[in-house]
Amino acid sequence: MKEPVVILGAGVAGLSAAQELVDRGVPCVIYEARGTPGGKARSIPLKPGRGELEALAESPALPGARSLHGEHGFRFIPGFYRHLPDTLRRIPSGDGSVLDHLALTRDILIAPDNAAVKRLISGFPVRYRELPASLLTMPTLMGLGIPPREWLVFLDAMYRVLSASPQRRLAELEATSWWDFVRAEEMSEAYRRYLCIGITRALVAMKAQVASTRTIGTIFYQLVAHSLDVGGQLDRVLDGPTSEVWIGPWMQALQQKGVRFCFGTRVE
């Protein structure tokens, strides 16, 4: 019998490695410090006695709210992802796969301080009733308070990302923070909030001052390109708590294929 490959950590990376190995006939064992799989992608159940969250969990307005789960971020699975949907398609769930649990989002809501919520259509309009919001995209964006001159600075920055060769992206853009690249220091508060910090924090939970331009710029233009694509899927989210609809079935499927999990085992 082959020696098992030892995988450290049952996060998305560790579980993906196990899936690729075991599907190629290589046995593996996963050591995980925590008592549960999923790492940063796992759902975090609410604990009793946490003020507002506890009140929410007790709310009669939310049937079954006892099982409310917390999540790191909103778990978006944008349309430009390639490997993750393939992984999800290979995890059985009910009569289908975990991929069936992806729900397409149609709205983006921006909630500025002390102002009405702004609504944008997420992706190319495919229904008549989406047309008004779609036509209002430019005025809505202009209403964020970013001066037109600064939009031009941002568009110029995006143009420089788009037109950079792979070599330049690695040599220069990887070494430049998004903050510096989009000249945040010289710009208005609104510019910094939406085009600098907003993009990095909302997209990949990274700090604009340290996130590389290669990462953020590449993700951002792929997102925009997908939103302009007819039938493109800008953003999908899971239709339930991540651990319930994805991580749990994933672990079960891997166990059935012979992957061994050792929880509560911190590797030193």
Ligand X SMILES: Cc1cc2nc3c(=O)[nH]c(=O)nc-3n(C[C@H](O)[C@H](O)[C@H](O)COP(=O)(O)OP(=O)(O)OC[C@H]3O[C@@H](n4cnc5c(N)ncnc54)[C@H](O)[C@@H]3O)c2cc1C
**Closest to ligand X by CB, 84 or 190:** 84
Torsion of CA 166, 170, 175, 176, to 10 degrees: 10
**Closest to ligand X by CB, 178 or 191:** 178
**Closest to ligand X by CB, 12 or 216:** 12
Site residues, ligand X (CB under 6 A)? 8-14, 31-34, 39-41, 72-76, 205, 266-267
Note whether 99 and 238 are within 8 A (CB).
Answer: no
CB of 70 to ligand X, least distance (A): 11
CB of 201 to ligand X, least distance (A): 9
CB of 107 to ligand X, least distance (A): 16
Q: Where are the beta strands (DSSP E) in 14-169?
A: 28-31, 44-45, 69-70, 92-93, 96-97, 102-104, 107-110, 118-121
CB of 259 to ligand X, least distance (A): 15
Q: Where are the beta strands (DSSP E) in the chain?
A: 5-8, 28-31, 44-45, 69-70, 92-93, 96-97, 102-104, 107-110, 118-121, 236-238, 260-262
**Closest to ligand X by CB, 133 or 245:** 245
CA atoms within 13 A on the CB side of 69: 16
CB of 81 to ligand X, least distance (A): 7
**Closest to ligand X by CB, 45 or 125:** 45
- Please give the Cα distance from 201 to 206 (Å, whole number): 5
Angle between helices 248-256 and 12-22 (to 10 degrees): 30
CB of 57 to ligand X, least distance (A): 21
Burial of 146 (0-12, 13-18, 19+ CB in 10 A): buried
**Closest to ligand X by CB, 73 or 132:** 73
